[in-house]
């Protein structure tokens, strides 16, 4: 509960994943703002049925307050690619790596990785694979990734709109490997990531077709290096989330808002895809 010197909203209550309650009886709309604050996807958050919510604060772009895991900004919006003097393929002898511990996610990523491994080398580290690299020595693991591997599976645990986490931003873009992504819709990655900095699985009809393209990249250093021309064109910036919340609370001119069914907004049709977005769109068109 925040006590703020404001006529319209003197208090704010935040409903987070671990403390989501039915607020209908205790809500005083005249003096409180109820904000739904989630950083996990709908599959991993509690039900918000019957919750009276004024504002939403999530990673989704249609939230009242957008709270992305990271936000990319170009130094000059006209310059999205620059020539690199470094060969990112040099001395790398291995193909695809993946650090993963959740073996039973909602989006069938394990099945996809196993199918991909039938056509190209995929080294799986952690509880879901045969290789080990201790979390207590994370830096050594990522140093190995940079030195030995060309590709990294930046697979989220669920396929939901705008759900792009550190698996991509930190594990992938933060290192000298080419991320292969699964999770948010392809258009969400296009809005959130540097241009030509990743490969989305839905660009291909099957793991086999993806593997064929990865073999092509492996054999062509110039083509492989073209996926790193984004480096040096911008940076990830601080979005000052709590400052924006505070600013909204002090905005006397802001129109009061109330969600009739925030649960429908949060987990309604089209928000998440059980399998691939390609498959979901195919079903819609048949």
Q: Identify the sign of the CA torsion 247, 250, 252, 256.
A: positive
Residues of the chain with pLDDT under 70: 1-31, 50-51, 282-286
Q: What is the predicted pLDDT for the residue at 3? A: 29
Q: Which of 50, 56, 52 is nearest to 37 (CA)?
A: 56
- Torsion on CA atoms 95, 205, 170, 220, rounded to nearest 10: 40
Dmax over Cα atoms in the chain, in whole Å? 65
Q: What is the predicted pLDDT for the residue at 24? A: 47
Task: Tell me if residue 156 is catalytic.
Answer: no
Beta-strand pair 199-200/178-182: parallel
pTM of the model as a whole: 0.88
Q: What is the predicted pLDDT for the residue at 26? A: 53
Q: What is the predicted pLDDT for the residue at 16? A: 56
3-class SS of residue 233: coil
Q: What is the predicted pLDDT for the residue at 283? A: 58
How many CA atoms does the CB half-sphere of 69 hold within 13 Å?
19
Q: Which residue has the tokens 């030995």?
A: 148
Domains along the chain with CATH numbers: 2-67+239-284 (no CATH), 72-227 (3.40.50.11660)
Q: In what order do the strands lie in the sheet with 11-15?
A: 2-3, 11-15, 32-37, 55-58, 65-66
Q: Which of 40, 156, 209, 269 is catalytic?
A: 40
Q: What is the predicted pLDDT for the residue at 257? A: 86
């Amino acid at each position: 509960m925040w006590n703020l010197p404001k006529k319209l909203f003197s208090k704010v209550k935040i409903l987070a994943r671990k403390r989501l309650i039915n607020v209908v009886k205790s809500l005083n709309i005249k003096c409180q703002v109820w904000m739904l604050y989630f950083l996990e996807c709908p599959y991993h958050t509690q039900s918000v049925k019957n919750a009276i919510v004024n504002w939403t604060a999530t990673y989704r772009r249609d939230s009242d307050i957008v709270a992305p895991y990271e936000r990319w900004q170009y130094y000059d919006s006209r310059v999205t690619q620059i020539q690199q003097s470094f060969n990112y393929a040099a001395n790398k002898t291995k193909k695809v790596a993946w650090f993963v511990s959740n073996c039973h996610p909602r989006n069938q990523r394990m099945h996809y990785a196993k199918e991909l491994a039938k056509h190209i080398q995929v080294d799986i580290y952690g509880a879901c694979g045969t290789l080990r690299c201790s979390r207590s020595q994370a830096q050594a693991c990522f140093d190995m990734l940079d030195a030995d591997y060309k590709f990294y599976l930046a697979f989220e645990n669920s396929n939901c709109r705008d759900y792009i986490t550190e698996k991509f931003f930190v594990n992938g873009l933060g290192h000298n490997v080419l991320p292969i992504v699964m999770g948010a819709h392809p258009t969400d990655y296009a809005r959130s990531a540097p241009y030509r900095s990743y490969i989305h699985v839905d660009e291909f009809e099957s793991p086999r077709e993806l593997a064929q393209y990865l073999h092509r990249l492996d054999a062509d250093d110039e083509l492989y290096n073209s996926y790193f021309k984004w480096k040096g064109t911008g940076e990830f910036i601080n979005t000052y989330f709590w400052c924006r919340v505070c600013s909204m609370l002090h905005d006397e001119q802001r129109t009061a808002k109330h969600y009739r069914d925030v649960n429908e907004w949060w987990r309604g049709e089209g928000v998440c895809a059980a399998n691939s977005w390609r498959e979901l769109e195919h079903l819609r068109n048949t």
